[in-house]
Structures are given as structure tokens and as C-alpha cells.
Amino acid sequence: MRFFIDTANVEDIKKANDMGIICGVTTNPSLIAKEGRDFKEVIAEIASIVDGPISGEVKATTTDAEGMIAEGREIAKIHPNMVVKIPMTVEGLKACKALTAEGIKTNVTLVFTANQALLAARAGATYVSPFLGRLDDISVRGTELIEEIAEMFAAAGDIDTQIICASVRNPMHVTECALAGADIATVPYKVIEQMTHHPLTDAGIAKFQADYKAVFGE
């Protein structure tokens, strides 16, 4: 399983990229709005940092296929690595089909059932993004959805659509996604940072440092 970072914060993207573990970035209207910056400006800066797929979403207020297609074409022009993020709706599927036919990569988002993922795959989506955390919020195990989608895609035999685990809230989600067969986990920087820590690692480092100083000093 590979890692994308789920943010529009350029500083967090730089820090994760410097760690050498991310190969793409996902954003959404809420993340872009949080930064309070121009959409194209933010995306262009992200593209200068990470050499990999960058998901930029159509406007949250655009609900018709024609509008999504027009916006998708503009997003694709920003950089060759752009992926157009489209909501899982009837109109979104129409837009996915049209953009895919033009050679534009797509990421169908807000997926909460295996059937939705299958529809997106058949519409030509490059990626599907099932949301784990939001399912957990309503007492439904999000990782079971990942398992269902992975099994369904494997059984079909002719689906190239990649599964991106989204709405990842904690390190355990990441482990479960990898075991469930996800292709990618898109993770906030906070979770990436949490994954690097363990009490025994921290204690071990502290002991090694103390032992070294006891013999050699500072």
C-alpha cells in the first residue's frame, strides 16, 4: 500500500515529502478553504513539491455533469499530475465517464458502499475514495467496506481502478487498510507523525542517549 497526504497545507506536504514516504496528494474543497488561498495557486505550489498524483476537486456547489466536466478540464490543465476529484452522484458518474474518455484521470470521492465503488470503476474512475472515518462515526466498520471493494474488484478481473482509503483518523486505520487490500491510504500529516512513534522506541532512544552521555559526555 502506498501513501498520499490528505491536506492542502503546503508546509505539512513539504514535511511529509522530506520523509520520503508519500507519492501523491489529495485535497478537497474544505481543505482548500481552510488555507484561505486561491485554488490554482495552492495546487501549483503542491505540484512543485510532490511529483505524483494530485487530486483537485470540482467546486462543492457544482452539481451538474456539464459543470463538473468543464471544471475538470480546467483542473487538468494546471499540471500533468492532476487528478479530478468528483463526488459519487449520478451526475458525477457522467462527468467521470466523459473526462476519462478525454484521457483525464479521475478520483470518485464520498464513496460509502461497495456498489458505489463498482459503479465508479465501471464509469472509468482512476481511483475510488471510500471514507473510513465517517463510517466509523456512525458505528459502521469502515475497513469492512475496503475489504468488500478489494474483493469485488479482484473477482471482476478487469478493473484497474485503485482504492484510496480516505477519512483516515488514526494509525490503526492505516494498518487495517493495508491488510484489507487497499492500494493507497491518504493520510493527514498528524496521523503520519503518530505512526512514527511508539513508547518503546522513544524509551529506547532516551536510554541509548543516556548511556552514551555517561561514557562520552555531551
Q: How far is Cα 161 from Cα 176, in angstroms, rounded to an integer?
A: 20
Going by C-alpha positions, the residue among 55, 56, 66, 121 that lies closest to residue 88 is 121
Q: C-alpha cell of 94?
A: 457522467
Q: How far is Cα 189 from Cα 6, in angstroms, rounded to an integer?
A: 7
The angle at the Cα of 54, spanning 52 to 56, to the nearest 5 degrees, equals 170
Decide: helix, strand or coil at residue 131. Answer: strand
What are 185's strand-pairing partners? 3, 165
| Dihedral of alpha carbons 16, 174, 177, 200, sign | positive
- φ, ψ at 21 (rounded to 5°): -115, -10
What's the number of CA atoms in the CB half-sphere (13 Å) around residue 184?
25
Catalytic residues: 85
Q: What is the DSSP letter of 52?
A: S
Going by C-alpha positions, the residue among 114, 59, 50 that lies closest to residue 92 is 59
